[in-house]
Amino acid sequence: MKLRLEYFSYRFAEQIINSKFTLKQEIDQILLHSNIDIPTLTRPNFNKVLLNNFLEKGWKSQPSVFDEPDSPAAKMDFLKERIGIEVGFGHASFMGIDLLKFQVASYSALNKIDLGVYIVTTKNFQKKMTTQHNQNWEGSLNFEKVVKYLPHFKSAIQVPVYVIGIDL
C-alpha cells in the first residue's frame, strides 16, 4: 500500500504553485517520502516525520504569522519562498484558525506569503488507518470537509489555498 495525493485549488492556487513548480514537486516528494512507514502513522508520528522531511529540504519551521514582538504567538507550520504550509491532522474545528493564519500572513503589511498549502488526510486514509492499522484518526479534519467548506469562506479567506489530501 502506497500513499497518494489529491489536490484542490482555491482562488487559482494551482496556477500560483505551478509557477513555483520545483517547490510543488518538493512538497509532493516530502509527502510521499520513502521514510513514511504507513502502519506507524499516528497523528503525532506523522507530524514528526513531516517535520523532519520539511526541515531536511530547508523549510523554516514554526515561523510567526506576525512580526511584532508583542503580537500573538500564531505560527504557521512551515514557510519557504513565500509559500506557507499548515498540516491539518488535528480536529476539524481547527480549520478556520489554520486558514486564517494564511489570510493574515498574506495581508497588506505582513505580505509574507503568496499561497497557503493546507495538508490534510482523506476520509479513506483515516478509515484505512483505523481498520487496517489500528490507528485512531477519528475526529481529524479531512480533505473532503476542506473542499466542501473552503469556498464558503470566500469573503474571509482571500489568499489562494492549495489543499493536498493524503490518501491510501
Q: What is the mean pLDDT of residues 26-43?
A: 96
Model pLDDT for residues 131-162, shown as the tens digit of each residue: 999 999 988 999 999 999 999 988 889 999 99
Q: Is the dihedral of CA 166, 98, 13, 30 positive or negative?
A: negative
- Here the cell at position 119 is 495538508
Sheet strands (E) in the chain:
4-10, 60-61, 78-80, 83-87, 115-121, 161-167
Angle between helices 43-56 and 21-31 (to 10 degrees): 140
In terms of pTM, does the model score above 0.85? yes
Model pLDDT for residues 64-123, shown as the tens digit of each residue: 887 766 666 788 999 999 999 999 999 988 899 899 999 988 885 568 899 999 999 999
Rounded to whole angstroms, the Cα distance separating 106 from 159 reads 7
